[in-house]
Each structure stands twice: as structure tokens, then as C-alpha cells.
């Protein structure tokens, strides 16, 4: 049986709303610092936020573990030299995590229709690395965008404990679906995480290039995806072609 796994950011949804989310996060940090008696300038906050993101990137890209919003807030707190205050930090975490609901990104063109079509033929799962927003919030976002109904499996890095390209980010879905990686297809936008990770366990890979706003497309990989596509409308046919291709190469189980 074939499974289709799909990345989330810059594959199903774009980066719109990111500036508003960044402003809200900076505002809550400076507000909570003020509550504690510390004045944080916009420049200090900017550097602290950048430090927090570098902390995230180190875990994500080097350790294949995505730090939680609390871990990122803690790094920002330490960078600013603020005293530990659980309540203040928790208020920051809430704003960091729920920013995608308050200022949501948009679905990429054709994604809803293609997801619907794919879900009629295959079990569909999201395989996504999480950053500020955990899986529980991203599920709510996809419900808000009216596409969660097409998804029957979820692999979020904050829940699995690993991020792509770690094998377990993908194999957790195949265990849940009772599918085999070599009969399945993964769609994502980052060669170094999506393509390498899925190909390593034998999945067919589709590199999505319909959203040019991601800064991580430059994280290239010495591996060629099975297909490269810029339009969601083309994906169902490409998936079908890759599945049929696999069927043709699969040894027959019929006795001569």
C-alpha cells in the first residue's frame, strides 16, 4: 500500500504573516522584561531574537532535534540577562506558539484541491519539523485552513523527538499506516531535510518549488529527487506516475 507524506511549511503553507508574528513575539518579550523591571531596546531585542533562532537552527540542522518554544524563549531570556520568571516566560511561550493562529500563513495555490484528490487514493500524512509552534497548534492551523480533513497521519518533530532527515520522522508514519517506504512518496521543499530523509528509507521524493520565500532552499543535497514541481495542480498526477513506476519495477507475485 502507498502512503503520501507531505512537508508543511513552504510546501502546503507559505510564510505570509511572518512579520506580524515576529512583531508580536518581540513585543511580548519587551513587555514581560518591563514587568520584571528591565528595559529592553528594540536593538537588544532584535539581537536576542536572532540568538534564539540560532539556538533553534543548531538543534534542527545539527542535532536533528527541534528545540521547543520554551527552549527558544529561555535562550532569548539568557541572552538578555533576565532573571528566570516562570510566569513571564510562559506568557511569552503562549504568544510564540499561537502566532500562526493569530497571524496565519496562507495555503499555497492549489494545495487544498490537490490534497483532496490525493486523500481519495492514498493515506496522507504531514511530516513536519516544528519551531515556535508545536504540532498541537499546527493541527489547529490546518483545521482553520480547512485541510486537516484530508490528513490521517501526523509526524511533528516536537512529538516524535526527531527532525528530518532523521529516519524516524518518516518511519513513524509507515508504522501507523502499515505501509512500506519503497512504495510511498514524500513531497517537500528542502533537499537537505525532505529529499535526503525520505530517500534514505527508500521513498520516492518530489521537490516542491512553488514557494520562493523559504531561506532554506539553499540547503542543497547531493541527491536528485524523483520529480521537481512548482504547481500543486501537477502533484497528484506525478504521485500516480511514481507509484505506477514502482509497481512496474516490483517483482511479480503471480505464479507462472
226: domain CATH number? 3.40.50.1000
Last residue of one domain, picked from the residues 102, 127, 150 = 102
DSSP 117-178: HHHTTS-EEEEE--SSS-HHHHHHHHHHTT-GGG--EEEEHHHHS--TTSTHHHHHHHHHHT
pLDDT of residue 106: 97
Q: 159 and 57, same structural domain?
A: no
| Residue 256, domain member (yes or no) | no
| Residue 254, domain member (yes or no) | no
Last residue of one domain, picked from the residues 85, 102, 119 = 102
Number of domains within the chain: 2
Half-sphere exposure of 37 (CA within 13 A, CB side): 3
Q: 58 and 46, same structural domain?
A: yes
Residue 149 structural domain = 4-15+106-249
Q: 126 and 27, same structural domain?
A: no
In the numeric block, which cell numbers belong to residue 94? Answer: 503562549
- Mean pLDDT of each 10-residue bin along the chain, 256 residues long: 96 97 98 98 98 98 97 98 97 98 98 98 98 98 98 98 98 97 96 96 97 84 91 98 73 31
Last residue of one domain, picked from the residues 102, 122, 142 = 102
**Tell me, what DSSP letter sits at residue 9?**
B
In the numeric block, which cell numbers belong to residue 114? Answer: 490537490
pLDDT of residue 247: 60
pLDDT of residue 252: 34
Residue with cell 512496474: 248
pLDDT of residue 253: 31
Amino acid at each position: 500500500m502507498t502512503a503520501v507524506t507531505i512537508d508543511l511549511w513552504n510546501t502546503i503553507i507559505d510564510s505570509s504573516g511572518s512579520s506580524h508574528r515576529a512583531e508580536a513575539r518581540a513585543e511580548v518579550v519587551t513587555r514581560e522584561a518591563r514587568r520584571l523591571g528591565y528595559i529592553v531596546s528594540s536593538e537588544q531585542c532584535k539581537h536576542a531574537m536572532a540568538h534564539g533562532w540560532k539556538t533553534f537552527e543548531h538543534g534542527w540542522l545539527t542535532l536533528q532535534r527541534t528545540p521547543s518554544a520554551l527552549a527558544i524563549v529561555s535562550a532569548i531570556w539568557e541572552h538578555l540577562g533576565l532573571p528566570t520568571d516562570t510566569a513571564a516566560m510562559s506568557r511569552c511561550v503562549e504568544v510564540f506558539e499561537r502566532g500562526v493562529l493569530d497571524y496565519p500563513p496562507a495555503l499555497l495555490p492549489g494545495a487544498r484541491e490537490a490534497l483532496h484528490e490525493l486523500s481519495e487514493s492514498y493515506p496522507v500524512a504531514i511530516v513536519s519539523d516544528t519551531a515556535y509552534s508545536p504540532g498541537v497548534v499546527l493541527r489547529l492551523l490546518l483545521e482553520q485552513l480547512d485541510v486537516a480533513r484530508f490528513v490521517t497521519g501526523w509526524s511533528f518533530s516536537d512529538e516524535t523527538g526527531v527532525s528530518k532527515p532523521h529516519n524516524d520522522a518518516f518511519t513513524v508514519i509507515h508504522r501507523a499506516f502499515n505501509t512500506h517506504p519503497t512504495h510511498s512518496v514524500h513531497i517537500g521543499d528542502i533537499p537537505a531535510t525532505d529529499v535526503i530523509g525520505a530517500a534514505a528509507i527508500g521513498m520516492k521524493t518530489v521537490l516542491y518549488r512553488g514557494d520562493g520565500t523559504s531561506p532554506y532552499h539553499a540547503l542543497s543535497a547531493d541527491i536528485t529527487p524523483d520529480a521537481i514541481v512548482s504547481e500543486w495542480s501537477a502533484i497528484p498526477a506525478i504521485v500516480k506516475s511514481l507509484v505506477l513506476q514502482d509497481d512496474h519495477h516490483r517483482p511479480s507475485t503471480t505464479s507462472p
